[in-house]
Amino acid sequence: MPVVSSLISSNIKKSPQDKVVTVAGGCFWGLEYIYKMHFKDRIVDTQVGFANGNLANPTYKEVCQGLTYHAEVLQIAYNPEVISYKELIDFFFLVHDPTQDDGQGPDIGTQYRSAVFYLDEEEKEIAEQSLAETQKKWFPHHEIVTQVEKLTSYWDAEDYHQEYLIKNADGYHCPTHVLRTEPKAISV
């Protein structure tokens, strides 16, 4: 039986009032870990997977070859009465390097690109506003290259990728997945 793409993971635990944000910022292991460690019970659930590529139901191996144009993404279920979409997006811009094109740290390829995937015009506007504010405050001397794009497809990654760094504390951590506390310095 063929697997059909949806925009939201069928495995993410959420209530009807909960919403889901989808972001890409390098290896999804580190992105998921930093959100879970920072927000703890303020977020409902997470799921990692692949978004907006040109192959149905891709595997991690296929995506890593860089030919499917999927992004490794994190989906975060949240209750908008507890935390806002904007707070989650503002945080996203501070926990990876949004000025690095097609990669994060040593992880290079379109699958590691920086992107915010929106579901509707309101999310798009908030993401663009957050990007502009972040550009001015945190990256005044570097151009943010994060793509703000409509979410057109989503596929869950294999089970062993879910909560990978929680289950494998010694696993690979991308060096760009840290919470920024000051603006990015001018390159010399």
> What pLDDT is attached to residue 2?
43
Domain range annotation of the chain: 19-167
Confirm if 96 and 16 have CB atoms less than 8 A apart: no
Mean pLDDT, rounded, for 96-107: 85
At 35-81, the pLDDT tens digits run 999 999 999 999 999 999 998 899 899 998 888 999 999 999 999 99
Tokens representing 74?
A: 């994190």
**Averaged pLDDT score across all residues of the chain:** 89
Instruction: Indicate whether 1 pLDDT > 60.
Output: no
Which residue among 27, 88, 95, 115 is the active-site one?
27
Q: Could you tell me how far CA 167 lies from the centroid of its own chain?
A: 19
Mean pLDDT, rounded, for 120-142: 96
Reply yes or no on whether 27 is catalytic. yes
**Which pLDDT band holds residue 145 (cuts at 50, 70, 90)?**
very high
Rounded alpha-carbon distances, angstroms, from residue 8 to 65, 117, 183:
24, 11, 33
19-167: CATH topology is Peptide Methionine Sulfoxide Reductase; Chain A (3.30.1060)
